[in-house]
Amino acid sequence: MKDMSMEDNRNLDLLASWIRESKYTVVLTGAGMSTESGIPDFRSKDGWWKNIDPTTVASTYALEKQYDLFRDFYIMRINTLKYCKPHFGHKILADWEKRGLVHCIATQNVDGFHQEAGSKNVYELHGNIRTVRCEDCSDDGKLEDFIMKKNCSSCGGRLRPNVVLFGESLPYDDLNSTMEAIRKADLVIVIGTSLQVYPVNQLPDLCKGKKAYINLDIDFHSKYFDLALKGKAGDTLLNIEKHLTKY
């Protein structure tokens, strides 16, 4: 863990006081929340999109026109999950929910780690890759059938994960609930996202309260936040927890 400067400690103290005073806090996470669990993010130097064009594997075009490539990509991502687990940062957020310090988490992540770590109020804005459905008849499919490259057992159609592909709209209920929560929030804490993807990158601005950003790279977005902490999600959440419990 890196040495803490005076400014770091001041910022951690400030965010801890905002969390204590807030009556309604929303956390918004991205792929940077899961890299410490061993899952690559998308746009960092060793992220998924460094060597893969997302439109060729994670879009409605890929699903329609190159299903084998689409399926191989998601089978690989599903299999990656088998060896990865939520880290202590996920567990801290779940504990903050239990203690009434966080109202809900809206995540762009599809790994289910917030729920696995114990968070109950989670909105999956980009769906998940833990369940599948048939693209042709919409019946729920079996994840094992998808991994084994079998077709839909009801109609013989193409199985696909319940992930939001480029070109698809976000799940209405999750997005609506997230927007309502952020509009009510005294505090929104954005963790581990480049905020490059619409419409999630518009959500923090709905907050009339305070906005904090925790990210390895804060240069581009820090001016849009009341507080920006440069650092790893897990370490920073652990340090905030220490400041929350030191009084």
Q: Kindly tell me which residue out of 35, 37, 178, 239 binds ligand APR, with binding defined by CB under 6 A.
A: 35
Query: Which amino acid would we find at residue 11?
Result: N
In the complex, the smallest distance separating the C-beta of residue 38 from ligand APR, rounded to whole angstroms, is 11
Known catalytic membership, residue 243: no
Q: How far is CA 173 from CA 134, 199, 216, in A?
A: 21, 14, 30
- 83-122 mask for ligand APR (x: CB under 6 A)? -------------------------x--------------
Pick the catalytic residue from 114, 126, 221, 243: 126
Which DSSP state fits 166?
B
Pairs from 241-247 (Cβ < 8 Å, separation ≥ 24): 241/92, 241/95, 242/12, 243/9, 243/12, 243/13, 243/15, 243/16, 244/16, 244/19, 244/20, 244/101
Burial 86-119 (b: 16+ CB within 10 A, else e): bbbbbbbbbbbbeeebbbbbbbbbbbbbbbbbeb
- Mark the segment that binds ligand APR (CB under 6 A) among 114-122, 173-181, 188-196, 204-212: 188-196
The alpha carbon torsion through 22, 26, 32, 37 (nearest 10 deg) reads: 90
- Mark the segment that binds ligand APR (CB under 6 A) among 33-41, 77-85, 170-178, 204-212: 33-41
| 193 belongs to the binding site for ligand APR (CB under 6 A) | yes
User: Which residue's Cβ has the minimum distance to ligand APR?
Assistant: 32
Q: Kindly tell me which residue out of 94, 129, 182, 233 binds ligand APR, with binding defined by CB under 6 A.
A: 233
Please give the size of the binding site for ligand APR, defined by CB under 6 A.
23
- Mark the segment that binds ligand APR (CB under 6 A) among 3-11, 43-51, 96-104, 167-175: 43-51
The catalytic residues are 126
Contacts with ligand APR, residue ranges (CB under 6 A): 30-32, 35-36, 41-44, 47, 54, 108, 126, 192-194, 196-197, 215-217, 232-233
